[in-house]
Structure formats: C-alpha cells, structure tokens
Amino acid sequence: MSWRFLTSGESHGRGLLVIVDGLPSGLTITRDHLTDLLARRRRGFGRGSRMALEGDELTLWGGVRGGVTTGGPVGISVGNSEWEKWSPVMDPWTLTAEGEEMKTLSAPRPGHADLAGGIKFDHKDMRNVLERASARTTAPRTLAGALAARVLEELGVTVRSAVESIGGVFASLPETEEEWRHAVASDMGIAREEDASALKERITSAAAEGNSLGGTFVLSVTGLPAGIGTFTEWDGRLDGKLAQGILSVPGIKGVEFGLGFKSADHPGRLVHDGISVEEGRWTRKTNRCGGIEGGMTTGGDVLIRAAMKPIPTMKQGLPSYDTRVGKASPAHSERSDVCAVPAACVVAEAMTAWIVGSAVAEQFGSDRMKDLMERFRAYSREAERWNIHD
Ligand SMILES: Cc1cc2nc3c(=O)[nH]c(=O)nc-3n(C[C@H](O)[C@H](O)[C@H](O)COP(=O)(O)O)c2cc1C
C-alpha cells in the first residue's frame, strides 16, 4: 500500500492533526522521539517569542498500541498550550470578537499567501488564509516525517540536514560523522560550533534593522541501495518527488541535487561520475550527481541543497494596501521569526524522510515491518554486486 498523510488545523487553533496511512505494523514508536523532533523544529536563534511560549502536546488517537504500530492509520494531534487562554474569543464555532491573537488582516503581507489566498477563497479577512498558510502547520507533517524516519532507521537509512548559510554568511558543511551529529543536535543546525557567532551576529543586525533573513541548507540521505525511484514514468522519479516535498516547505525557493545549477557551467567529464568495480562492488569515486541518476538512487549518498527566502513578516510592514480603509498602508505585522533556516531544515528533513520512506514502501511493500526489512536487505545485498563477473 502506498503511504499518504493529511493534516488539519490552524496557527492559533486548538491544535493540529495528522493522519498517516500505510505505515507497516510492528514499528516501535516512542513519544520522546516525536517530542524531540518537534522541539528541533522550534530551534534557532532569531525565532519569534511564540517559540518559547508554546509547547507541543502530543495525543495519540490510533494506529499504535503499546508503543507499536498496528498497521491502521496513525492519528496524532499536537495541542496548542496557549489556546485555553484565548479560547473565549478563539472558539471556531462561535468566533465573533477580535482577540489579541486574531486581529483582522486587511493589509496583506508581500511574500505571504495572504493576498492570492484572499482572492482565491474570497476571504475579506485574510487572517483566514494566514491561519492555515502559517509555518505552524508544518508541525504535523514533521510528525509524519518522523514516523517515516523511524521506518528508515530500521532499514539503516539516515536522513540529516545542516545549515550552510544565513543571509549570505556561510558556515562549514559537515565532513565527518561527528560534524553531522553536531549539525543535528545544535541550535543553529551547523557542523562546527565556531561558526555560530558569525551567523548570530548577522541575525542580530538584521533584527536591529527591522529586517529578516533567509539562507541555505543541505540534506543527506545515507544507506539507500541503487534503484530506488524509477525512470519509467515522470511521476515516479525520486528527484522530482523530493523536489516537490522540499519545495512544499513554506519559504523554500530552490532545490538542487549534487552539483545542481553549477553542473550547467562545466563540461561533461567534470560533471558525471565514472563507474568502476572495486572489491566486487559497484563503485563511484565521485558523487557529483548527488546520488540520483535517471530518477533513481545510484547507491551513493543522496545530497540536496535548498534555499529559503527571508521571512516575509517584518516589524515595519512592507508596502501594501488596507482593504478596510481603502488606501495604501504598511502590511500587517505580528510576532514573527527574523530567521527560521535552522527550523526549516528540520521540516525539509521530515519531508525528505517521508518521500524516501514512501518510495521504499512502494517498491518493497509495507504491511509488516519485518517483511519490509527482509526484502529491503536482500535487495540491497544483491544491488551492490548485481551482475558482476569475478
Ligand atoms: C519553520 C518555519 C518558520 C517560519 N516562521 C515564519 C514567521 O515567523 N513569520 C513569517 O512571516 N514567516 C515564517 N516562515 C516563512 C513563511 O511561512 C513563508 O515565507 C511563507 O509561507 C511564504 O512562503 P511561500 O511563498 O514559499 O509559501 C516560516 C517558515 C518555516 C519553514
């Protein structure tokens, strides 16, 4: 069965909900694992005050008994710990008054979904758009990605991310296992702690100017055999699916695999990765393609870079037009992050795990975890040495 998930909920609502369908039975899930990942999504210097205010309260609705998946749809909600305080004015059944957190949005913010979404659904109060387009709604899909990552972990597949730059200031990329671990654990998502101060200074000075920043990050997937994904139809290509998953994270504007855009500047001999056989295994000495050829994995690490635009909400709103008073006006402003790159890469990591996990499940079947492991391992063993004559 192929995997799917749907989410529901809004930024300042009672909570957010995800239903994940298709996961195998027999997978161990712990609350701590999911809570830790959601906590990583809230990380980073330059986040808004909301990150400190709101806890993520998880409730399991189904699909897991005794900490193990049953094969049924897994339902999890993420409660909003602030909601009770707002509830008299925030109850969606009775919502009439304007609460502090629910001011009418009549001056749309450039860079956000506000205006196009207002036009599309005829919402005169564009808060109806903001509430669902908000990055807070990435929490439930981070959970879906966490479940996928658990499946992948059992298969020996690891998905990780590291921040590369913020507002044009660069950090070193991870080169060793220890640096990858640091990137995953660190508040700034970087490989080496000594780079943190330059990035934080960049964020502090942007905040002082009332400005915001974007940046770049990298993602890596290790442990996949050759041949995951397919070349046979356009919508089965793994690179296409990954690009969609990562670009679906709010604010992500570019994705590249391996050399990516730079590959367009170099001749073929400096771009493609020669094939050899060493110690009876298929080998590449380089991985400029980023681990994907013909829409399928090559057996090397999948290497992706993504770019995030600066946060669109700013203290001094950008030029806009207020529909309530019918004249030019600065865009609506509210509590906001100055930079969310270290958090965005956690969401992108989750989407990457989801896409890779779905592709693996599609290829090997995913009713039972133990069968999936057996088939995946047998295939991986064969793929390494496939058709090599000693
Ligand atoms: C983790 C995360 C946190 C974000 N925090 C904010 C924020 O506090 N304020 C804001 O205006 N945009 C924030 N954004 C970015 C916007 O959601 C994004 O720029 C906006 O939805 C429009 O992007 P799009 O054109 O790619 O949809 C955040 C994005 C992510 C991934």
Q: What is the pLDDT at residue 84?
A: 72
User: Is 80 exceeded by the pLDDT of residue 75?
Assistant: yes
38 lines ligand 1 (CB under 6 A): no
- Interval 126-140 mean pLDDT: 94
- CA 176 to CA 217: how far, in whole Å? 17
Other residues' Cβ atoms within 10 Å of the Cβ of residue 121: 11
User: Is 90 exceeded by the pLDDT of residue 98?
Assistant: no
Under a CB-based contact definition with an 8 Å cutoff, are residues 384 and 299 in contact? yes
pLDDT grade for 83, boundaries at 50, 70 and 90? confident
Q: What is the pLDDT at residue 51?
A: 59
Nearest to 33 by CA among 196, 150, 138, 200: 150
Q: Report CA(308)–ligand 1 centroid distance (Å).
A: 9
351 lines ligand 1 (CB under 6 A): no
User: Is 90 exceeded by the pLDDT of residue 36?
Assistant: no
In this structure, what token pair is assigned to residue 67?
């900490």
Q: What is the pLDDT at residue 44?
A: 87
Of 114, 134, 211, 255, which is best to mutate to test ligand 1, by the most ligand atoms within 8 angstroms of its C-beta?
Answer: 134
- Interval 103-127 mean pLDDT: 95
Nearest to 142 by CA among 163, 129, 127, 159: 159
Amino acid occupying residue 238 = L
- CA 171 to CA 191: how far, in whole Å? 8
User: Is 60 exceeded by the pLDDT of residue 53?
Assistant: no
In this structure, what token pair is assigned to residue 18?
């995800």
Torsion of CA 351, 352, 357, 363, to 10 degrees: 120
User: Is 60 exceeded by the pLDDT of residue 369?
Assistant: yes
130 lines ligand 1 (CB under 6 A): no
In this structure, what token pair is assigned to residue 122?
């005829």
Q: Does residue 99 or residue 372 have the better pLDDT?
A: 372
216 lines ligand 1 (CB under 6 A): no
User: Is 70 exceeded by the pLDDT of residue 90?
Assistant: no
Q: Does residue 328 or residue 83 have the better pLDDT?
A: 328
Average pLDDT, the chain: 93
User: Is 60 exceeded by the pLDDT of residue 72?
Assistant: yes
Q: Does residue 53 or residue 276 have the better pLDDT?
A: 276
In CATH terms, the fold of domain 4-385 is Chorismate synthase, AroC fold (3.60.150)
Write the CA distances from 24 to 58, 70, 360, integer angstroms.
21, 7, 12
Under a CB-based contact definition with an 8 Å cutoff, are residues 336 and 51 in contact? no
pTM, to two decimals: 0.96
* Residue 46 CB partners (closer than 8 Å, separation 6+): 200, 203, 204, 206, 207, 213, 337, 338, 339, 340
DSSP E strands, the chain: 4-9, 15-21, 56-62, 64-65, 68-69, 74-80, 158-166, 169-170, 215-222, 252-257, 275-278, 281-284, 292-293, 296-297, 302-308, 319-322, 327-330
48 lines ligand 1 (CB under 6 A): yes
Nearest to 15 by CA among 45, 46, 58: 58
List, for residues 375-387, the tens digit of each pLDDT value.
999 999 999 999 9
Nearest to 214 by CA among 51, 345, 339, 45: 339
